[in-house]
Chains A and B, each alone.
Chain A
Amino acid sequence: MSVSAADTSADTQVPAVEVAGLEKRYGTVEALRGIDLTIRQGERFALLGPNGAGKTTLFSILATLRSPSGGSARVLGHDVVRERDAVRRSMGIVFQEPAIERKLTGRDNLLLMGLFYGLAPGEARRRAAELLASLGLDDAADRATEKLSGGQRRKLELARALVTNPRILFLDEATLGLDVDARRSFWSHVGTLAAAGRTVFFTTHYMEEAEVADRIALISSGRIIALDTPRALKARLGGGVISLQTDDDVRAREWLAGRGFTPEPGGPELRLVHLDPASILPELLKNLPVTVQRVEVHAPSLEDVFLKLTGRGLAAGGGGA
């Protein structure tokens, strides 16, 4: 089966990704302003950030699609510029946009990918059959891919990335636009792959997907502003979060600020991070000079962390990469 441990003969001490002082400029735009990052082999690593933060740029450089303007990046010990082909041989990549031939069947797509990676035709055919079976795509294998569902197509993209049994997988917004079930199914396959010792480096807009990562890097304006496990990131906020919806959020915000509280900037509702929300809530509700329509106390989520650190939500922000 395809998910057997990826090439364990190689040195497992070499970091999967090693980035130092990485910079990228597009003309006068500084997309990356000095990124330092080390990812162990076998790690599931999520890269989060608002649009335009440099996510896609960092991803593209690691996946040998773009070259850095400064600094260095190595994947499994290979320099992404000088040893591009070595990096390419050891990685599998799922793009945000489809990269399968719509008119061909899934089986043909995988077969061809095998040929492109230098497998002999017989070997490529075997590998295709193996991958289709392991991803539960047997039924869809011999239909033109344009006739498949979104979830099946995405799984096929994953299968395509796995043709060469890569030691590191790059997933760029791989589940964008899929429904919850299809997303869950996709990630359960990725989980199996990671459990077999593969490194998975991914970007996502969905917070619950980032939760499965071993570590998360938050990137904003071309810099990494936080890098930790999901739990540690949430613990940074400490205590809990009070979310308020009132008939006049602006006035409520002013009032809170006047009482020495610091409501989080931005977001669709009023959020207040506090060490012990339960103790201050009754007083707040009694004294707030506005009508409270809804109140909620919860443990901090990644979204809260994100808001706190960047001052804006993940979905917010302009276009660009």
Chain B
Amino acid sequence: MIRGIYAIMVLDLKRVWIDRVRIITGLAQPLLYLFVLGAGLGGNVRSGGADFQRFIFPGVVGLSLLFSAVFAAIIIVFDRQVGFFKAVLVSPLPRAAIAYGKIASGAAQALIQGVILLPFAPLVGVHFGFASFFEMLGAMVLGAVAFSAMGVAAASRFTSTTVFPIISNALLLPMFFMAGALYPLRNAPHWMQVASHFDPVAYAVDLMRGSVLGVYFFPPWLSVAVQVVLVAGLGWMSLGVFNRGEDDSILGETQIKWRR
């Protein structure tokens, strides 16, 4: 089991290493938010430019974690149809190892994207102390695992490579905007404050922001609890999905032909 999770992670991280240019290009979007959107908007809001960039820094890290975790999960949909993963699915590897391995490797990939943003922190006025650095890191790990579990639970349900990105985009952006990543939830309209309670991204971002600014919107224990419960629940869900559906997905193409 542990060996299986390890094997899945080795496979995925080797692939990431081969496509390591993508890690650099993956920096573009968060840096754009941080330095362009952040500077532009920051100059026009009351809190002042530097303060605003400092405020959105944890949100941008959250954005980076969220999108790279879900992107890592999208690969599962492709993998099921062609390539090495097919051989993995016919191995006696426990299905749990596949599910948990995929969640772990997605989280690791997201963390890589998130951690390379940390050196930019001083440029926007975020200075970590010893404790706050590890608080931030802990919050990032938790968030990465939660987002990866979301991605895997969703991706393992889809066999179509075209539908999944559309659906995930339709969900990801609203989740990101409602998470208070780019503005304080405290001053947001009441409905958004209510909605954010159902948005896992909001808890993750708030926990990270707390470690940077020392101010929380949700109680920290609640943010941790919500994410732990989420990971447990989604992990359990993805298990079932890797168990079922081999009949349909491995030779998916042929199956579809029959059904039509």
Contacts and interface: CB of A to CB of B under 8 A. Distances in A.
A99 B258 contact: no
Contacts of A98: 82-83
Nearest to A100: B84
Contacts of A116: 4, 7, 87-88, 91, 93
Contact of A65 (B11, B15, B92, B246): B246
B156 to A, nearest CB: 17
A99 B87 contact: yes
B92 A160 contact: no
Nearest to B257: A320
Q: DSSP majority for the A interface?
A: loop
A64 B83 contact: no
A56 interface: yes
Interface residues of B, number: 29
B258 A29 contact: yes
A250 B18 CA distance: 61
Interface residues of A, number: 38
A85 B6 CA distance: 20
Interface string B229-260: 00000000000000000110011001101110
A151 B113 CA distance: 38
A85 B86 contact: no
A104 B3 CA distance: 20
A235 to B, nearest CB: 35
Contact of A95 (B3, B10, B86, B88): B86
Contacts of B255: 26
Given A65-B246, A320-B258, A321-B254, A115 B7 contact: yes
Interface stretch (A37-45, A106-114, A177-185): A106-114
A321 to B, nearest CB: 5
A230 B240 CA distance: 45
A164 to B, nearest CB: 8
B91 A27 contact: no
A221 interface: no
Contact of A88 (B4, B86, B90, B257): B90
A273 B36 CA distance: 82
Contacts of B11: 101, 112
B127 interface: no
Given A27-B258, A320-B254, A321-B254, A113 B87 contact: yes
Interface string A44-79: 000000000000100010011111000000000000
A89 interface: yes
Contacts of A319: 257
Interface in B82-122: 82-84, 86-88, 90-93
Contacts, number: 91
B186 interface: no
A311 to B, nearest CB: 24
A63 B90 contact: yes
Contacts of A63: 90
A102 interface: yes
A68 B82 CA distance: 23
A153 to B, nearest CB: 12
Interface string B62-89: 0000000000000000000011101110
Contacts of A104: 14-15, 18, 84
Given A104-B14, A116-B93, A99 B86 contact: yes
A254 interface: no
Interface string A229-261: 000000000000000000000000000000000
B96 to A, nearest CB: 13
A104 B19 CA distance: 11
B92 A117 contact: yes
Interface in B1-27: 3-4, 6-7, 10-11, 14-15, 18-19
Given A66-B251, A88-B91, A100-B84, A115 B3 contact: yes
A160 B87 contact: yes
Contacts of A216: none
A65 B257 contact: no
Contacts of B84: 99-101, 104, 109, 112
Contacts of B259: 26-27
Given A109-B84, A117-B91, 15 more contacts: A65-B250, A65-B251, A66-B247, A93-B90, A95-B86, A99-B86, A100-B83, A100-B87, A104-B15, A112-B11, A115-B6, A118-B4, A319-B257, A320-B254, A321-B257
Among all A-B residue pairs, the 8 with the closest Cβ atoms: A115-B7, A101-B84, A26-B258, A99-B87, A85-B92, A88-B92, A321-B254, A116-B91
12 contacts: A65-B250, A93-B87, A98-B82, A100-B83, A103-B18, A109-B84, A115-B4, A115-B7, A117-B91, A117-B93, A160-B87, A321-B251
